[in-house]
Each structure stands twice: as structure tokens, then as C-alpha cells.
Chain A
Amino acid sequence: SAVISQKPSRDICQRGTSLTIQCQVDSQVTMMFWYRQQPGQSLTLIATANQGSEATYESGFVIDKFPISRPNLTFSTLTVSNMSPEDSSIYLCSVVWLLGLAGEGGTDTQYFGPGTRLTVL
């Protein structure tokens, strides 16, 4: 089956620094998204990563804090900038496979990567 990978899988960072998280897929996708999951909580959509253009951010998330790139159909990055302890979370990318061919769901089903566990000290 198709694979979604994220790097790094986890990291411990100092306050005020930035971390870039990578999401790589091995099959064509139509959509890529970034989510945040705070400890013990559900998933919250940060933004939709658009190929070749600026990401579309959800209310409460801004580009200066969470810059996102998507240079091609199979790769995206999320940067968490000027980190504080409140940014400690799991960050997840999700994808919608082209024509739904790589999954068991429909053509609009989202599939998730393994997540990046970020701890900010």
C-alpha cells in the first residue's frame, strides 16, 4: 500500500528556535494537509498545503508562525517558528490519494502520516 512518511519522528527543541517537518508520499495525491494534535486532544487542521502557491490557513493559524511549502505533488514541509512550550504537540500530515487509488476509502478520504512529536522546552 502507499506510504506516507514524516521526518523527524520526534524532536526536543529549545524555546525561540524553529523546526521544519517534512512529509513525503510515494504515490500521487491531490490534497495535502497539516494538523496539530495537542496532548490528549483531537486533531485540529492547521492549513491546506497548495502545490506551487501559498497554503490556506485555518482560523487561529498564521503563515508567519507555520510557514508551509509544497513544491510538488508528493512533498510538503511545515515549519513551526519561534517555538514556545505551547507548541508542544504532535504534528500530522494527511493526504488525499489521486482518484482514491491508494486507499480503502473514497476519492476524498484523508490518510495520515505517522506524526512528528514535538516537545519545546
Chain B
Amino acid sequence: GESVGLHLPTLSVQEGDNSIINCAYSNSASDYFIWYKQESGKGPQFIIDIRSNMDKRQGQRVTVLLNKTVKHLSLQIAATQPGDSAVYFCAVETSYDKVIFGPGTSLSVIP
């Protein structure tokens, strides 16, 4: 089956710096990847997604990179702001209706 992991459970960055959050997955057949942001007391919020036919996708201040060769994806947040403080989950879709979540990285932004 699929397993999803992250390299760092916590990350602290200075306000204005760029943040990089990493994620690894195990199943090379996985074809859809999603990043969620969860603020304290709230449900996970969709940030950005990417399909396996792409290796990079950009949103507003966020970029997701997918390296299928090593089964790794990352979320880059540009000019990190205090409002970016949250737990970030990568999620991997293994079939149409099954999504496996990674353990999460807690991002703290230092003012």
C-alpha cells in the first residue's frame, strides 16, 4: 500500500523568508498530490495540487514541485508571513476515492 512521510515535523522560519516543506511517498503509481494547510481549530484547507504529468505548479506565493524519480514532492512558500503559521499536510491519492495523508509539518513564522 501507499505510505506518505515528511522529513521534518516542525519548521521555523523568519518572516519574509521562503519556506520549503518536503514530503515523500512510496507508490510510484500515485498520480495526484495535494497540499493542505490546517490552522489551529480548523479543518484542512486546500492549498495547491499537482498531477503526475507535471513536475511543477505555481499558485499565489506557493509552488509545488514533484520529483517522480525519487517519489518526492515539496511545497515552497515565498515571503512567508505570520498567517502562514499552521500544520501542512501532503496527501496522495492512490485511487479515485482514497487519499493517504502524511504526518504533517508544523510551520512557525518568527516575526
Contact = CB atoms under 8 A, between A and B. Distances in A.
Contact of A114 (B42, B99, B102): B42
A45 interface: yes
A85 interface: no
Contacts, number: 49
Contacts of B101: 42-44
* Chain B residues touching A, range: 20 to 34
A69 interface: no
B42 to A, nearest CB: 6
Given A31-B97, A43-B89, A92-B43, A106 B103 contact: no
A111 interface: yes
Interface stretch (B13-21, B44-52, B65-73, B74-82): B44-52
Interface of A: 4, 31, 33, 41-45, 48, 92, 96, 103-106, 108-115, 117
